[in-house]
Amino acid sequence: MRSLRIAALPVNNRSSPLQISPTPRPPRFFPRGTPASTAMDGARAGSPRLALLSLALFLFLAPCRAQTCSSYVFSDGRAYSSCVDLPVLNSYLHWTYDQASSVAHIAFRAGATESDWVSWAINPSGLRMVGSQALVAYQNSSTSLRVYTSSVDSEGTTLPEGNLSFGVSNISGKLEGSEMTIFATLQLSSGTTTVNQVWQVGPLQSGSPGSHALSGANVQSVGTLDLLSGTTVASGGSASSRQRRRNVHGVLNAVSWGTLMPMGALIARYLKVFQSADPAWFYLHISCQASAYAVGVAGWATGLKLGSDSSVDHKVHGNIGIALFVLGTLQGFALLLRPKKDHKYRPYWNMYHLAVGYTVIALSIINVFKGLDILDPEQKWRTAYIAIVATLGASAAVLEAATWYIVIKRKKTASSAPKISHGMNGDDGYSNGRV
């Protein structure tokens, strides 16, 4: 067996015979004091702060996640087989449906306070508010929650208590924090699998349900609900699709009735004064009004469709729209019956034509602003239309003054000239030139 030879190491007389080196420090990749080194040191120092920030973010998001229907737990232990996050008004619907007996156990939750009322309804007659069979809840003056049924038979209802077209039992409710819940058992018609649902949140007025907002989410809270599959579809498609159709309706009517119609009237009233514009002004007037009417009819038709799909009936806006369509149509037929300039009935036709025309212009501008109130767009759109109306008004004022100046000057010139017969056309070329 070979022996191992250990060579002696030289020893410094000033050192201990046995020296133990400390554990070597890992090399620094950045010289001390450089920006990179400072950043790394700051990161080490900020680690506790980063952890606290992450914890705070988690605690903030946790309640938000709990607000989805699938993760919600009822405090009294109730459980439902299906639920859906309704698209607007911070609302949720939970239900269990027994298809064999057509019995639905439901719980409707909505964000609300003591000064609000909430409602969930089924409308057997369509996707609208009128005809809805509603469950209503609100905090009354005695600090207790009032929960009852109400049949919505007309617009402007105060949701009086009444029986529904289907059976309702076990109706109750609760208000916890900023959320109100309605519980009920519904006995639906045999074979029911899909229902039209309407839900709403509004303010209390003098201790009773008051009118809810007529724009935004409050007019989008309607759709169909499949009780078996658990799917819900907003009325007329998605909310964005419905909003897009409302925008198209507004643009068509603002351009036609609200802009082109007044422009056509300005052309007829002022260009005819200039003899060089005859008969061009007449054809410009007809072209402008015909285009306005065609586009306006398209806008009116989209309004009818929106009204039939909406859960809210904007009566004044809709009635003005119908009146505009009727008056515009009458103007078109009246043009076909226009007497000749020398006919004895021509002055009466002129008065009718002017009266109906100015009525259409006034109603058009009023209805555009009512539509803006309903649509509630960004302020820039309202400002833009105000600018259009102001421009048309200023143009009318300037042209009115200019044409009167021309007419007066023409009369003075005619009165100082030798009397020469001008036939039936008159001597001023203005009053008899009107259509």
Residues annotated in a binding site for heme b: 249, 285, 317, 353
- What's the Cα-to-Cα distance from 265 to each of 269, 286, 292, 356, rounded to whole Å? 6, 10, 11, 11
Q: Which segments of 177-264 are extended strands (E)?
A: 179-187, 194-205, 208-209, 222-226, 232-234
Question: Residue 201's beta-bridge partner residues?
Answer: 118
In angstroms, the CA 248 to CA 298 distance is 10
Rounded CA separation 294/99 (Å): 50
CA 77 to chain centre: 38
Cβ-based neighbours of 39, under 8 Å, separated by 6 or more: none
Q: Output the furthest CA–CA distance in the chain (Å, rounded).
A: 156
Which residues participate in the annotated binding site?
249, 285, 317, 353
Q: What angle do CA 273, 340, 361 make, to 5 degrees?
A: 55
Contact 182, 92 (CB under 8 A): no
CB atoms within 10 A of CB 161: 10
Local structure of 174: helix, strand or coil: strand
In DSSP terms, 223 is beta-bridged to: 197, 234
Omega of the bond prior to 27 within 30 degrees of 0, cis?
Answer: no
Residue 294, SS3? helix
